[in-house]
Amino acid sequence: MTIKVSAPGKLMLLGEHAVVYNRPCLVTAINHRLQAQISKLRTQKIILNAKDVELENYEKKLEELGKGEIPKPAQFVEIAVRNFHKVYPLKHGVSITTKSQFKAKFGFGSSSGAAVCTIKGLAELTGINLSKREIFDLSYQTVLDVQGVGSGFDVAAAVFGGTLYFVTGGKEIEPTTKAKISLVVGYSGIKEDTATIVKDLAKRKEKNPAMFDDIFNTIAELVSQGKICLENQDWQSLGNLMRINHGLLVQLGVSTEKLDDLCVAALSAGAYGAKLSGAGGGDCMIALVSDKTKQPVEQAIVAAGGELINIQTGAPGVQLEL
C-alpha cells in the first residue's frame, strides 16, 4: 500500500519576525507543492529518499529515531515519524520519498511541508483519522524539536491552505479572503537559514527589548489593518502596509541591500507595495500588483537582478494525491 500526499509552500504577506513573539501575521499558501510518497515496510525501520536535497536510502530503526546524528535533509521527516510513532505506535517500518516542486533555497517552507506531509501520510497509511488541528500540532512540535524556534505560520499554511490570519503557536488560525492576491515574487539569489536569523534577532532583542517590542507592536497593528484590507480587497491600502512593514524589517536588521533594491525597483515600476517575505537575510521579496502593473514590475525586478518565480496564492492545504 502506497500513500501519496502533498502540501503547499507559503509566502508571508505581513508580520514576519513579530509572529515569533506572540503577534499575528498574514500568510498565504502557494501552488508550489511538496509531495511525499509513503509505503509500509516489513522491517522495523524507516528508509528516506529526497533527491532534491541529495538524501538517498537513509535508514534508521524505529527505536533509534531522533537519536544520534541526523543528516540535515532527513531531520524534519525523521522527527515527524518519531513524534507520530510516540502517539500512534507503528507496527511496521515505512519508506518515505519526498519531492518538491520548488527549490529549498527559495524559503517557501519546504521543511515544514515535509513534516506536514509525513504526519498526514502516516495517518492515512495507518487508518488514523487526524483533524487538521492534530496534524498542525504534531507538525509544529516537529519544527520546534528540530529548530528550537519557530512560530508555526508555515506549518499552518501547509496544513490549512488558503490565506490565513495566524497567531504564534496556532493560538488563532483564521481563514481570510478567498480572493487571489496578485503577487510578483523575486528571488534575491541568496539563501539564508531561517533559524539562524531568528536566533540572531533574539540575541539583539535581549539587549534592547523595549525598542524591539515597539516595532513588533507596530507590525501587529499593520497585520490587523491588513486583515481588513484583504477582506475588502483594498489592494492600494494593503500595498501601503507592505511598504511600512518592509521599513520596519529594515530597522530590525533582517533585510539586505539586494532585497531593498528589488523592492525599490518594484515600487518604481508601479507596484502597490513591496517587501521582503520570510526571515530575510536573502530568499524572496514580494510585490503587490494590478493587472496593468504586473509586467512592468516583473521587468523591473529582473533588471534589478532578481529571479522571477511564478506563483498563485490561496492554494489548498495538505491533501491526498490520487
Nine cell digits for residue 253: 536588521
Spatial distance between the Cα atoms of 216 and 29, rounded to a whole number of angstroms: 23
Spatial distance between the Cα atoms of 2 and 179, rounded to a whole number of angstroms: 35
> Between the CA of residue 263 and those of 90, 270, 299, what are the distances in Å?
48, 11, 13
Q: What angle do CA 87, 88, 94 make, to 5 degrees?
A: 120
Residue 291 bears catalytic tag: no
With both helix axes pointing from N to C terminus, report the angle between 257-268 and 294-303 in degrees, rounded to the nearest 10.
150
Q: Which one is catalytic: 137, 154, 260, 283? A: 154
Query: Dihedrals φ, ψ of 178, to 5°?
Result: -95, -5
Residue (of 4, 1, 6) closest to 315 by Cα position = 6
Partners of 257 in beta bridges: none
Partners of 50 in beta bridges: 55
Asked if 125 and 2 touch (Cβ cutoff 8 Å), the reply is: no
The amino acid at residue 277 is S
Catalytic residue list: 154
